[in-house]
Amino acid sequence: MVGGLAASAAATALSAMVHTIVPSVPFPPASIAQILVRTTSGEVNSFFIGYLGHWALRLAVLGVAIAFALSGMVFGWLVARRKSRRLWAGAALPLWLAAITLYPEVPQHLSRELFAAVSLPVHIAAGLIGGYVATRVARESEEVTVVEEDIPLPRRMPGEPQPTRRYFLVALGVGGAGIALGLANLGSRLRDPGERLLTLARLNKAPRRSSAVGDAAFADVAGLTPEVTSNAEHYVVDEEIFDPVIDPAEWTLKITGVVDREVVLTYDDLLRLEAEERYQTLLCVSNEVGGHLISTAKWTGVPLNGLLDRAGVGSDAVEVVFKAVGGYSDSLDVDQAMDDSTLIAIGMNDHVLPRAHGFPARLLSTGTYGYKNPKWLNEIVVVDSPYKGFWQHRGWDKAGKIKTMSRIDVPEPGPVDRPVTVAGIAFAADRGISKVEVSSDGGRTWDRARLKSELSPVAWRLWLIEWEAPSSGEHELLVRATDGGGAVQISRHASPFPDGSSGYDSVTVTVPA
């Protein structure tokens, strides 16, 4: 078994080194994990994303990497009674076959054929290392006979560790180091384009907000979510384990399909176009009631309808499909794609769009959950029939329309002082928020909260209320929001799958006597 472990550990470490030196050669555990993520059901994805956020992907790839590094023990157990070095030399080949079979072809990586050719010598070398270790363990474990006295003696010195244990620990160390190196993805850690300020010749700035009486009170509420989320703190959920590294000098955005003419835009072309700036909240469909997969940023983008007008959308067009580097895709109906509010975003919070948020360009539509806004765009296709995107094939809702939600940020559960400041966020996408209410009696009566003036018609609203507890002891506080059209937030609890969560957020506090 230790020979097999040495082979798989060596395969892990050698593959990690090759990936670090040549990032276009993927780290096999990461590519295998990518396929597993893409083949799991929407309900399973929602469960892990809802509770773990972006850590769901990281833990998935870590689990696959550990299994990859330890898999040789299984092979070692199967061939433990055979001592052929040639047999052990093939110990890493099953890993190679798995990596080839489960290889996701994406633009920034080698083709499957090239990957097979490059990685085969790595796994052969790993198998030879496994064979060498197996032979050494067998030799050092044997007893030798002193001819003159006919006394069997062990090859190792007294007090020296058992060879099996020694090589086992070394193999674990090598495999662990390989996992750390491969998942560090050092070869792709170039400077993030999002570190640069975005400079545009033609930019329509976001309208200034007219502050209202009472807005200043929100600044004094400790623990209340900042109205604008920094790039570093903005939630990130996507199906790509490692963000694609795209060279803007080589990148193009194509507009094809049911159009009068194909349009090809470079990154510099986008930067030269007139751009719009707006504050907008993005909400992940996997967000649980009271969850934090929601953020607000100041986005900069080019109106999509102008780009589609260049191409000339055909009269029989039904939807517009947005395809991303890596294979992800989703769509909007033609009317929404042609709406003035739909942008191709190239900036975030006055900076170039960060890599994690879709550099060089991503879709930014209003009224829809995050999965309807693909990142890392490279093609826009106008189609004449309904289209099923990545998540629709996994059971998620096609329309992806955001449900009205609200959340209590403060106070936290537990003891509180009188009076109690209750505050949080509410969001209803492009419908806006007209009212937020808080109840302390299970929803029988509701007290209206104060709303901070609107940052943007498509951004969340901050709210707060000073609540006077009717008595000491334990109280459950509920919150609900009403959208701009007068529709009250859905009270029925529902999990995120398949069309977003619903229900009232709550917090239980203890009021002293």
Q: Where are the domains of the chain?
A: 2-188, 203-394, 405-511
Q: How much is the average pLDDT of 477-500?
A: 96
Residue 456's alpha-carbon distances to 299, 492, 507, in angstroms, are: 12, 28, 28
**What pLDDT band is residue 79 in, cutting at 50, 70 and 90?**
low
Give the tens place of pLDDT for each residue, 17-73. Answer: 998 888 888 888 887 877 777 777 666 666 666 666 556 666 777 788 788 777 777
Instruction: Please report which helix (H) or strand (E) contains residue 406, including its range.
Output: strand 405-410
CATH classification number, 405-511, choose in 2.60.40.3500, 2.30.31.10, 2.130.10.10, 2.60.40.650 = 2.60.40.650
Average pLDDT, the chain: 87
Give the tens place of pLDDT for each residue, 255-286. Answer: 999 999 999 999 999 999 999 999 999 999 99
Give the tens place of pLDDT for each residue, 331-383. Answer: 999 999 999 999 999 999 999 999 999 999 999 999 999 999 999 999 999 99
Give the tens place of pLDDT for each residue, 116-143. Answer: 899 989 988 888 888 788 777 777 766 5
Euclidean distance between CA atoms 266 and 423, whole angstroms: 45
More confident: 239 or 412: 412
Residue 105 in tokens: 């072809």
- Judge whether residue 199 has pLDDT over 80: yes
Euclidean distance between CA atoms 38 and 501, whole angstroms: 22
Please tell me the predicted confidence (pLDDT) of residue 277: 97
Q: CB burial class (10 A; 0-12, 13-18, 19+) of residue 385?
A: exposed
Q: How much is the average pLDDT of 143-166?
A: 55
Of residues 505, 500, 456, 452, the one with CA closest to residue 481: 505
Residue 422 in tokens: 């209750």
Please tell me the predicted confidence (pLDDT) of residue 416: 94
Please tell me the predicted confidence (pLDDT) of residue 372: 97
Please tell me the predicted confidence (pLDDT) of residue 189: 57
Please tell me the predicted confidence (pLDDT) of residue 64: 80
| Residue 307 CB neighbours (<10 A) | 19
Give the tens place of pLDDT for each residue, 287-323. Answer: 999 999 999 999 999 999 999 999 999 999 999 999 9
Please tell me the predicted confidence (pLDDT) of residue 215: 94
Q: Which amino acid is at 309?
A: D
Please tell me the predicted confidence (pLDDT) of residue 395: 87
Q: Which residue pairs from 47-52 have beta carbons closer than 8 angstroms and sit at least 24 positions apart in sequence? A: 47/497, 49/237, 49/284, 49/286, 49/293, 50/286, 50/287, 50/288, 50/291, 50/293, 50/495, 50/496, 51/288
**What pLDDT band is residue 187 in, cutting at 50, 70 and 90?**
low
- Judge whether residue 162 has pLDDT over 80: no
Please tell me the predicted confidence (pLDDT) of residue 26: 84
**What pLDDT band is residue 1 in, cutting at 50, 70 and 90?**
confident
Q: Among 30-34, 225-229, 423-427, 446-450, where is mean pLDDT lowest?
A: 30-34
Euclidean distance between CA atoms 72 and 299, whole angstroms: 48
Q: How much is the average pLDDT of 93-101?
A: 83
- Judge whether residue 228 has pLDDT over 80: yes
- Judge whether residue 163 has pLDDT over 80: no
Which pTM value belongs to this model?
Answer: 0.77
- Please determine whether the domains at 203-394 and 405-511 fall in the same fold group of CATH: no
- Judge whether residue 160 has pLDDT over 50: no
Beta-carbon contacts of 395 under 8 Å, excluding residues fewer than 6 positions away, are: 41, 42, 43, 497, 498
- Judge whether residue 463 has pLDDT over 70: yes
Buried b (16+ CB within 10 A) or exposed e, 272-297: ebebbbbbbbbbbbbbbbbbebbbbb
Fold topology of 203-394: Sulfite Oxidase; Chain A, domain 2 (3.90.420)
Q: At residue 34, what are phi and psi to the nearest 5 degrees? A: -60, -45
Most confident of the following: 90-94, 103-107, 416-420: 416-420
Q: What is the share, in percent, of the chain residues with pLDDT greater than 90?
A: 56
- Judge whether residue 155 has pLDDT over 90: no
